[in-house]
Amino acid sequence: MPAEHRRAFLCAASSPGGGSSHRLWYDEGMDGVVLVLNQNYEPLNVCNLPRAFRLVFGARAEVLEYDHQVIRTPRAEYRAPAVIRLQDLIRRPRPRVKLSRREIFIRDGYTCQYCGRQSSDLTLDHVVPRHRGGGHTWDNLVAACKTCNHRKGGKLLEEARLRLARRPVEPRCDIYSVFTPYLRDEHNESWRTYLFLGH
């Protein structure tokens, strides 16, 4: 992940709050990122070390894994966390895949949902045609080859005597694509267990 993207992500991931009493030594030369898990162990976001320390010292998170660094202050030494888990469950809206032509094709495996042919020359078909009340939505859009799209025209499935290969639904957002780039850094190796938990 390019540095500027990483920074942007860190900014987006961190939220206001947390004490400021540790700030004296926090921001000096601390390197590294920390995986934040929700209370139910779901990967939530990535934060920087100062933020992670604030969460841990504020008893808002527990440390599950430590990394290689030891942070020294005049009075004490602290092992830097690599993975932390929040004490309270954060409820947040489910991340969603943005509806687009390309995402529909990916969901449908670049395969016509009527005849099953794979093609790089696909069209988008509204299962229930728009002029008959069909929406421009995940559950009403499918990939269709030109032949099938033409055959279907403005008709309903029954009228065109066509059947769908499978019911179109909204795909799940792959939140793991956000975290996996961090695994390229060997310092984050301990994240792996938690990212693929239950996968």
Residue closer to Zn ion, measured from CB, 34 or 145: 145
Which string of b and e fits 25-36 if b means at least 16 CB within 10 Å?
bbeeeeebbbbb
Among 10, 56, 115, 128, binds Zn ion (CB under 5 A): 115
Q: How far is the CB of 147 from Zn ion (least distance, A)?
A: 5
The structure tokens 């310092």 sit at 187
185's tokens: 């850094």
Residue closer to Zn ion, measured from CB, 80 or 122: 122
One character per residue 66-105, x = contact with Zn ion (rule: CB under 5 A): ----------------------------------------
> For residue 13, how many C-alpha atoms fall within 13 Å in the half-sphere facing its CB?
23
- Candidates 18-26, 42-50, 65-73, 109-117; binding stretch for Zn ion (CB under 5 A): 109-117
Q: How far is the CB of 117 from Zn ion (least distance, A)?
A: 5
> Does position 114 bind Zn ion by CB under 5 A?
yes
> Does position 145 bind Zn ion by CB under 5 A?
yes
Query: What sign results for the dihedral spanned by CA atoms 193, 188, 40, 173?
Result: negative
- Candidates 7-15, 131-139, 146-154, 191-199; binding stretch for Zn ion (CB under 5 A): 146-154
Return the CA Rg of the chain.
24
Q: What are phi and psi of 87, to 5 degrees?
A: -80, -25
103's tokens: 């995402």
Residue closer to Zn ion, measured from CB, 149 or 188: 149
Cα–Cα distance for residue pair 162/98, rounded to 1 Å = 28
Among 142, 143, 148, 162, binds Zn ion (CB under 5 A): 148
Q: What 8-state DSSP symbol labels residue 91? A: P
Q: How far is the CB of 60 from Zn ion (least distance, A)?
A: 54
Provide the binding-site residues for Zn ion, judged by CB under 5 A.
112, 114-115, 145, 148
